[in-house]
Chains A and B, each alone.
Chain A
């Protein structure tokens, strides 16, 4: 790929330059905002926030393949499940530490993602949605199957424990607080990686492949490789979120990974903002806290409200919550 062919595209994503001081201020504010809940929230709410960050990470994974690359996946719950199970199996059967399971989890999810992304190449957008939808529906059944019951624990699932806070910390913190810090740290790292990926040459290639595959190919982009690798990366990130969720909940079972997880991630992506890194964060917060509120009305209410909000966003705010913020910001700046 010749460099000057790619250059014209890069001007499109040019942003107003920020000084090093401004950047430092942003980072510090972000760190403060992330650490603050440690001191403000009691253990249950901290756990919920941990789960929200995990969901945000999973939505980020989905956003890379569906938002930025335009391959609609309705089955990301499957990768979430694979990540959770890899961590749970390694921790409970082989006594690995949580940290050690992250790399195998990411690798296996990446491989599975590659495996799903490969046939996806031959399918148009809709067929992929259909295949991944079927995958999501079939996952609990596969997890329950007798052949792998020795490893997966069958219907009963597996119990694991949260990592203990290390002793070298200056402050004595609880396991819940440590779990929150671990989650935020890993999520922040993944968000940063995704941010860099999307901002750079590969990100532009992903979007070009989404917006005009023929033109992208004519410009010399290997769309097939891009698509399968996007799928693998996306599965990897969602899988890491799954690993985190396994230790945060301290339990995995087939019925926690129904078709509903995939739908939740999809709803989170649309509501937060399709093709938006920041939107994934809003999506995670949304999918965790809105059902909690809605559940007070009825067991079925979260689903109904999800559906209504999903359709309302698609009709009124197709670029999601992040898009809304962007528009407000643009208006304020224009004044």
Chain B
């Protein structure tokens, strides 16, 4: 029974990471109806930036917030430089640009920082076991950080005028434009926020999976699964989906398929959701008239 409880708690901890990445994906999807295939690679780059800051002798939390700011700027720049020129192009072009971005960011990270696996520090450590050894300090800490981020994002969108403007720009760009919202910049801000959330997720997961240029590929897959499970157009759904997928993955890995097929579990969830309920658990069912 302890084993099961531990698997569930560990699942919630990783689920928090998936939830963050899923939220980043959904933010971009909501605003532009595109899925950013390079989200994982961008988060890995951010984590490497944080790693270099820590290596340079900065205190962890300075490096943490520094990375969040840098990632935000990178996200905004990517939107302005790469996505803006093709915003009215067909889907194939967008997918192509995302794949190009994935290739460039992923390989540049490997080129600059090397392919050897690195140990990433965690700010959470504790001498004595927490909750009778059921949960590690890092699991508890990273779940807390994830929840704080998710709460902040929620408060931002719900209670600030900038958040309202961003929601308006995503929901109905034309009307938003007419009432004076600068839709283009709202999209860029959305990209920046997504990159920053991804960076936090990367920094929280790196101590667990160790840091290397391909670290996020599997995580991105789970985030896709989480986002689809919760409904890809619903941010809170995506968060719940991310947590659910984390628990599901851990239980399946421990009791059903073993660790070698973990990615296949994500694939199965994705196909299962798309076949059985394409709008996800909490998504809107879109019907269109032709």
Instruction: List chain A positions with a Cβ less than 8 A from chain B.
Output: 66, 70, 72, 74, 119, 122-123, 125-127, 129-131, 133-135, 137-138, 141-142, 144-146, 214, 259, 263, 266-267, 270, 274, 298-304, 306-308, 310-311, 314-315, 318
A315 → B minimal CB distance (Å): 6
Is the pair B107, A122 in contact by a Cβ cutoff of 8 Å? no
A69 → B minimal CB distance (Å): 11
The contact of B99 among A70, A125, A137, A263, by CB within 8 Å, is A263
Is the pair A125, B260 in contact by a Cβ cutoff of 8 Å? no
Contact string against A for B residues 258-289, beta-carbon threshold 8 Å, 1 for contact and 0 otherwise: 00111110110011001100100000000000
| Smallest CB gap from A129: residue in B | B95
Is the pair B217, A311 in contact by a Cβ cutoff of 8 Å? no
Q: Summarize A's interface: helix, strand, loop or mixed.
A: helix
Is the pair B260, A134 in contact by a Cβ cutoff of 8 Å? no
Given contacts A123-B278, A299-B115, 18 further A-B contacts (CB under 8 A): A72-B95, A131-B271, A133-B224, A135-B267, A137-B217, A141-B261, A263-B103, A300-B108, A301-B111, A302-B107, A303-B103, A303-B110, A304-B107, A306-B100, A307-B102, A310-B103, A311-B104, A315-B85
Which of B29-37, B131-139, B170-178 interfaces with chain A? B29-37
Is the pair B93, A303 in contact by a Cβ cutoff of 8 Å? no
A120 to B262, CA, bound (A): 23
| Smallest CB gap from B106: residue in A | A303
| Smallest CB gap from B102: residue in A | A307
Is the pair B99, A303 in contact by a Cβ cutoff of 8 Å? no
A306 to B275, CA, bound (A): 34
Q: Summarize B's interface: helix, strand, loop or mixed.
A: helix
Is the pair A314, B97 in contact by a Cβ cutoff of 8 Å? yes
The contact of A131 among B33, B37, B274, by CB within 8 Å, is B274
A314 to B96, CA, bound (A): 7
Write out the residue numbers on chain A whose beta carbons fall within 8 Å of the beta carbon of B86. 314-315
B18 → A minimal CB distance (Å): 14
Q: Can you offer 19 A-B residue contacts whose CB atoms are under 8 A?
A: A70-B92, A119-B275, A122-B274, A125-B91, A126-B34, A126-B35, A127-B278, A134-B266, A134-B267, A137-B218, A138-B266, A144-B260, A263-B102, A267-B103, A299-B110, A307-B100, A310-B96, A310-B99, A314-B93
| Smallest CB gap from A306: residue in B | B103
